[in-house]
Amino acid sequence: MTLDGKTILITGASRGIGAAAAKACQAAGARVLAHASSPSAAAEETAAALGQAPDDFLFEDLGEAHAGFRLVSAALSRVGRLDGVVNNAGVYTASPLTGPLEAWDAGWARAAAVNIQAPADICRSAIEHFRARGDGGAIVNIASRAGHRGDGVENASYAASKGAVLAMTKTWARGLANENILLYAIAPGWVETRMAPQDIAARAEAVKDVPLGRVADPQEVGAMIAFLMSGACPSATGSTFDINGASYVR
């Protein structure tokens, strides 16, 4: 498997799945453009691991209107060509069923902006670029197990946003395969990132739900992303890959 000659934009790449994907894709030969919402120590660490300068990161707050369009435009201004895009950036939002409506409204608005609108805008820009070039491209959208089975009762906004990611991935995969524009989704369960339960009791409860006996490592998801970006199996376009230790088997 090789990514030699490919240039890949990865959102949310300062830590967790995004950083693991950036390292895996670069190790396979790709030129990686890494994105983060803002400068941070984590972004500097990932840049150093990639042999890049901190300023090589592309910074954009994906909660802002049209941020996805600006990000792809900035990437293309820097490199001229993208062969693949990984929509990894996301937020885990609460939409409480009780309490002030402000928290309810904020949870749904944040999930819609970062988890749906931004990746949709990035996909639109990438598809436009792939079409203009005429030789196709690949997009991997990071969804969640929650997009299939739901989430906690206070986190419906998050689950709904990830369900939307799955739906748009399938829609564009079906409609664009004949143009060699390939889309895949990955639906992780708990992964060893900031989103995973950190409280000891909560962690024990989460792991109890995973037949494999542990949460996934970010490197496992990164390896799957690199494989999908390689073009080794184009017929898998439209597929969703579950990485959840058999905690949700479809």
* pLDDT value of position 208: 84
Q: Per the structure, how many domains does the chain have?
A: 1
Question: Looking at the chain, which runs of residues are DSSP E strands?
Answer: 7-10, 31-36, 58-59, 84-87, 137-142, 181-188, 240-243
The answer to whether the CB of 215 falls within 8 A of the CB of 189 is yes
Please state the length of the chain. 250
pLDDT tens per residue, the chain (250 residues)? 799 999 999 999 999 999 999 999 999 999 999 999 999 999 999 999 999 999 999 999 999 999 999 999 999 999 999 999 999 999 999 999 999 999 999 999 999 999 999 999 999 999 999 999 999 999 999 999 999 999 999 999 999 999 999 999 999 999 999 999 999 999 999 898 766 555 545 657 778 889 999 989 999 999 999 999 999 999 999 999 999 999 999 9
Instruction: Check which CATH number belongs to the domain holding 52 and give it.
Output: 3.40.50.720
184 is catalytic: no
Print the domain residue range for 80. 7-241
Q: Does 248 map to a domain?
A: no
d(CA 185, CA 72): 19
- Do strands 58-59 and 31-36 pair parallel, antiparallel, or not at all (unpaired)? parallel
**pTM for this predicted structure:** 0.95
